[in-house]
Amino acid sequence: MTSRPTPPATDNFAPTASRPASLWPESTRPSELRSSAFGSTLFGALPPVTTDSAGPLLMFDVCHVGVVLRAVLFVHAVMAVGVLFAASGAASWLGLVAGGSAVALPAVLMWLLMACLFKHPLGKLPALAQWLSAAALGAASGLFGWVLGTFSGADVFDGVRWLAPALGGAGMAVVIFQWLRLRAKAKLPADTTAQLAELQSRIRPHFLFNTLNTALSLVRLDPPRAEGVLEDLAELFRVALVDNGESVTLAEEVALAQRYLAIEQIRFGSRLQVSWELDPDAGAARVPPLLLQPLVENAVRHGVEPADEGGVIRVRTRVKMGRAVISIANSVPDVPSQPGNGIALRNVRERLRLMHDVTAQFETRLDRNVFRVQIVVPL
């Protein structure tokens, strides 16, 4: 496929970096583009997702700052309420809370650490074995915290007092595991919505017909370019119909967005000005599949299509303070487009929250005649 240069960006948007001659640099050839998660929705239902055994949803996925903070706060809140029954006053309650924290904190951190390290093998166990493993790890972690919190290894197992931290740890672990199960299941509707929205965008009649008509008009005038349009369209369908797991790299998402804009570039010609400012170091960040394509599609539909003079889209990635920052900006025409329902933006925000929790950021803002979407994810 021959390279198809994009027109230079207009002065009213003032991009800071020039674009390569081709939307497909050597490092992102079509044959190397990995498929995004999608499922076979064109010919049938989505493939079944197993939520209690091996599958894309990991029940022990606790390797996130937000999960750790919530688990620690939950355990300490339960402990603080529990010691009220033994406290004789405010000072006594504070003392008991401090003593209980010396046991609870190392216990919950140990459970989270073990769950994070062994999330893949534990996630492949049957449902009952997962519950038993969570409880057993909780009991062992509770005893670990008990040993550390007593500051004495001589009499920690005298009598039956050790049963309290063991049973308490097992109980807290079961409650946290149930929350993780519900959290993992909550991810399924968001992913399914994104997959259906992506398939609908791929098979939207006017998008499909416009692309085919464009290719037909180029067959005699510019056969290599017509071949490139059909290859882009075929690749978009292939990506949309092949399942790839629960996350992809940012570089793969950029490559998919380039595919989509390459087709739209043929359709709009000089009306569509595209600027790519890509930091290779940011490409290693893990993001949910089908993250960028709906955003650049929104930019085309609301920023370029309604304007007679066209518009400008700028996609920028960079690394800042150990995190990948993705920015998608498009010019806003004087004549507003037909208002959308905001499903794409809400879906992207929700999927980022489910994958990265509090470590991800999603912001939208309108700066005079430019609409910006900024996403921040950990590297």
185, 215, 235 — which closes off a domain? 185
The two three-digit tokens of residue 361, written as one number: 């950021």
Is residue 111 domain-resident? Answer: yes
What is the C-alpha separation between 344 and 328, in angstroms, rounded? Answer: 14
- pLDDT score for 254: 93
Is residue 214 domain-resident? Answer: yes
Are 152 and 259 within one domain?
no
137, 153, 185 — which closes off a domain? 185
Q: What is the mean pLDDT of each run of 10 residues along the chain (379 residues)?
A: 42 39 36 32 32 49 82 89 85 86 88 87 86 90 82 58 84 89 69 53 58 76 78 69 69 88 84 93 88 87 87 94 93 75 77 82 89 92
Is residue 199 domain-resident? Answer: no
The two three-digit tokens of residue 32, written as one number: 């190397």
What is the C-alpha separation between 215 and 223, in angstroms, rounded? Answer: 9
Are 209 and 356 within one domain?
yes
CATH number at residue 322: 3.30.565.10
Q: Are 12 and 312 in contact (CB under 8 A)?
A: yes
Is residue 192 domain-resident? Answer: no
| DSSP per-residue codes, 141-166 | HHHHHHHHHHT-SSSTTSTTTTHHHH
Are 135 and 238 within one domain?
no
What is the C-alpha separation between 376 and 363, in angstroms, rounded? Answer: 9
Are 365 and 224 within one domain?
yes
185, 215, 240 — which closes off a domain? 185
Q: Are 315 and 257 in contact (CB under 8 A)?
A: yes
Are 230 and 153 within one domain?
no
Is residue 164 domain-resident? Answer: yes
Are 123 and 214 within one domain?
no
- pLDDT score for 103: 85
Scored b (16 or more CB within 10 A) or e, 274-298 reads bbbebeeebbebebbbbbbbbbbbb
Are 363 and 257 within one domain?
yes
Are 158 and 274 within one domain?
no
Q: How many domains does the chain have?
A: 2
- pLDDT score for 310: 86
- pLDDT score for 28: 36
Are 174 and 249 within one domain?
no
- pLDDT score for 63: 80
Q: Are 375 and 364 in contact (CB under 8 A)?
A: no
- pLDDT score for 6: 43
Are 87 and 120 within one domain?
yes
| Residue 257, CB-side half-sphere exposure with 13 Å CA sphere | 29
Q: Are 286 and 377 in contact (CB under 8 A)?
A: yes
- pLDDT score for 32: 34
Residues ≥6 apart with Cβ < 8 Å to 5:
21, 22
- pLDDT score for 18: 34
Are 173 and 210 within one domain?
no
- pLDDT score for 312: 93
Query: Bridge-partner residues for 328, per DSSP?
Result: 315, 373
The two three-digit tokens of residue 346, written as one number: 């809400």
Are 334 and 221 within one domain?
yes
Is residue 92 domain-resident? Answer: yes
- pLDDT score for 222: 77
Full domain range(s) for residue 148: 65-185
- pLDDT score for 346: 81
Query: Bridge-partner residues for 311, per DSSP?
Result: 272
- pLDDT score for 157: 61
Residues ≥6 apart with Cβ < 8 Å to 285:
249, 250, 323, 324, 377, 378, 379
Is residue 143 domain-resident? Answer: yes
Is residue 12 domain-resident? Answer: no
- pLDDT score for 362: 93
φ, ψ of residue 340 to 5 degrees: the values are -90, 180
